[in-house]
A and B are shown apart, each in its own frame.
Chain A
């Protein structure tokens, strides 16, 4: 009888259950990450085994939602890694300026902070009227949060610094109004942004883009899923389109659709056939 890691079996069953119940497929996510999230949930709920959690997930929708919430890691900030946005502004934007129409896809946009950053950047580069940003995430809750364009006030100081480091051309305060709790992004910034639910694992390409930004999403995927997603990006990019990844990410697939554009800031460019 082959030795089976029972914990992994339990985890597989849990992920299968989640997939069947919700349509969200985490089976190709990095096991280590998923396992930690599940363990975390087990500790919070004081459950002994993953199987017991599976049982609850199956029978109690609140648990399903909780665990879905756990799996959706929404770490983001405005102008995250300012040098990335600076490089985008200085190196990619000149190419975009030549295009009559620009479509940008933020895949895995989370609560939208990077989308807001991109909208500000395009505004400052005079590309707002030509550009359309498609911001997607698999988590509908964060999408609806992103749509509101509301940012907790205490984060704004750090964002202001990021904005400056990313080569901001105006006063950051021109893009928001604040009350004592939240900063509200100027609604006209989000006029050209389309927020939509989209799951990189299960959904197909939905348009052709000139730029795809997908930062710190692939790290949660195993290599097979990563290459699946990169295929998807390849399908969705126009010739010579740009792909921006997270600072610690890289393209590790066999197929070489992409060539390095800026290695430090993880910009890649789709090869023109």
Chain B
């Protein structure tokens, strides 16, 4: 029976019992109700009617009795009416009773009563008639006669009533019995129903739970960790539980198959994982390598390890007429025959065939003579060999050969195939990368080469420039010398002015000198005349005044005149020296080679300097040696000037002792040493020696420089300009010779002059060279060093006074502060600049438009009407002023403004307050 049916049965039974019980109860309640109705309606009604009848009868009887007893004859009609009514009531009651009484006993009672009553009623009628008739005495007899009847009636009536009451009690007793029975029946029915329900329920529960329990037990027995074997349920019932069991069994069956499959898949996935892991780790290698050898080495090592191979080789294909495969990496190879050949051709042997067929080859039956795998202890033969080509599309790029001691498993082969699949691309990539690296290297080298070449070109152009600069420097130097001359002229002017203060006439002459200085060449030409003549007269006159033949002057005035004289003398010497030197330096000095008679020359010297010697109390000799040439070809005037200069110096620096001149022919060795290279047969050597203060050795070279004396103290003591020796040196060069000094401090000096005898004079080329040399003094090694040493000094000196970059240039100063303008203007005008000023940007723009040539603009930033930024932008807006230097003057506090300055088009900027030197420096930079 199914679970459902069982449940229906059990529940149905319960419902049925309930319904049954309900009907029993209803039936019994109804029974009780019938009893009650019978008791109440029937019995009680009959008793009541009997009672009524008795009452009515009593009433009538009492009426009659009163008449009889009391003789109370009131109105017979009233009594008659009353009796009639009474009789009618009794009659109706009798009818009711006759209708309702159904028992025989009762009917009998009713009939008796009725009969008795009928007689009584007749008596009444008679009584009434008597009454009416007034026969009262009769009444009593009549009434008495009826007494027996009346008593019988009353007894019957009471008996009827008792009978009916006894019937009522029986009924009540019946009802009580019925109730008791009912209770018993009910209790027993309920008990039966309950029992039935309990039995059915118990049966239901037991039969269900037993089956479920067997299923639970079966399920509990399952080992969930291992689903390969699941116990089946042994439930054969046809109910739902049976179905569950069979469903469970089929599920267990499918679980078992599933789990078996899962195990298989897991295995496959593990293998796949192994393949993937290793292949990806191998693929990962690709990116680490930039060379194919590195990759091959690591790849073959990794492959051999993973595939459990004991021997391996990697052959890369090299294209050629017949492609050759060359081994570039091997695993476990030793030096001899291990890991096989170093190369093979395509198609050569199995491995070559493998390359042609583009397939993986396996060899599991390895021949005996196959190469062996060696260990430290011995050697063994491989069991299996594997050859695999590495392909890219259809091209073989390389071949791998591996040998192992065990046959290769399918997984290993799978891994190999996996790896080989991507290896082709990797190899191509690496080859490509190697090529790219190569190209990159090449291009980098090319770039550097280009940079190098450009630098070299720059160097060359700089060299060219430096050569042209050198040319320019020479010109520049010439200019510089001119400038220096100008400066010296200015010095001379200064001196003249000093004289001017002392003497009016000298002032006149000095002004002439000043005028003449404007034109250098004219000045040079006219110098001797224009300067010497007035100086001569000054000297003459002052000397005359010193002598004071008329004694018209006092001592002080004479002393003044002496000062004027000696100053004039100094000035004259200075002018002479400067003239000579400058002429030499500009190459204007003419040299006339002529025959000079040595003896005459010596005689002149003697004559000229003897008075000095006597004046200073010195011994003076001019000694012409025997080997001295009779005559030499040179410029006598210059030669004489040289010797005179030397002698002047000698006399000047010698306090006591002697001064001597010796003239002889130089020895060949002496002039060759000098390597002057002059082609002359005869060289004249003149030595001027003194016993004076001497010259310290370190000064020997310096003294030939212009304005150089041993030291400042010497200069103050002995006077002189320091130009003498410089001129001497220059002249010596001009004559093709040289002047040297030998001296020790305190032990006198000896100057040696060597000049060649040049009958033909200097050749034109030589002349130019000599002049240039004299002018620039470049090539003389001794001197050039000194020159370079002194160059900075010279330029520093010139810095203070010469500002030829700025001189004559026009500067526009734009500033709204008049004091600033005044200060800047003064300073710049001192530098010889033309200064224009503008108070604001508008004015500046107007000036720039109007004035054709403005070389540089100094631009203040903070200005009314139009500020510096705007002004600069507008200036840069004008095409022709794109390159005009504009120096912005910014306030130091506003550092961020510098960027704005540059954006607005300033060439440079300097901070206020202005440092004059910085301002001049910047202007020199931008005007250079």
Contacts and interface: CB of A to CB of B under 8 A. Distances in A.
A261 B5 CA distance: 90
Contact of A157 (B449, B805, B921, B925): B925
A174 B918 contact: yes
A75 interface: yes
Interface in A210-247: 216, 218-220, 246-247
Interface string B423-457: 00000000000000000010010011111110110
Most buried by B among A37, A150, A156, A169: A156
Given A160-B908, A160-B925, A173-B922, A220 B452 contact: yes
A250 B455 contact: no
B254 interface: no
A250 B921 CA distance: 39
Interface residues of A, number: 41
A45 interface: no
A75 B462 contact: yes
Interface string B898-918: 100010000111110000011
Contacts of B444: 250, 252
A40 B294 CA distance: 46
Contacts of B803: 179-180
A171 B909 contact: yes
B615 interface: no
B802 interface: yes
A36 B453 CA distance: 9
Contact of A150 (B455, B792, B907, B918): B792
Interface string A165-179: 000011111101111
A202 to B, nearest CB: 21
B448 A249 contact: yes
Contacts of A180: 798-799, 802-806, 924, 928
B460 interface: yes
A33 B458 CA distance: 13
Contacts of B796: 179
Nearest to A33: B452
A245 to B, nearest CB: 11
Contacts of B909: 171
B928 A36 contact: no
Contact of A177 (B459, B806, B918): B918
Interface in A174-228: 174, 176-183, 216, 218-220
A172 B921 CA distance: 11
A74 interface: yes
Contacts of B911: 170-171, 174
Given A173-B918, A246-B451, A179 B895 contact: no
A30 B449 contact: yes
Interface string A16-45: 000000000000001011001100100000
Most buried by A among B456, B910, B917: B456
Nearest to A182: B795
Nearest to A74: B459
Nearest to A160: B908
A153 to B, nearest CB: 4
Contacts of A73: 455-456, 459
Given A150-B792, A154-B928, A183-B925, A248 B447 contact: yes
B586 interface: no
Nearest to A40: B460
A51 interface: no
A148 interface: yes
16 contacts: A36-B453, A148-B792, A157-B907, A157-B926, A164-B902, A171-B898, A171-B909, A172-B908, A173-B921, A178-B924, A178-B925, A180-B802, A180-B928, A248-B447, A248-B450, A249-B448
Given A180-B806, A219-B449, A249-B451, 16 more contacts: A73-B456, A73-B459, A153-B925, A157-B925, A171-B909, A171-B910, A171-B911, A173-B910, A176-B921, A179-B924, A180-B803, A180-B804, A183-B924, A219-B452, A220-B452, A252-B441
Interface of B: 441, 444, 447-453, 455-456, 458-460, 462, 792, 795-796, 798-799, 802-806, 895, 898, 902, 907-911, 917-918, 920-922, 924-926, 928
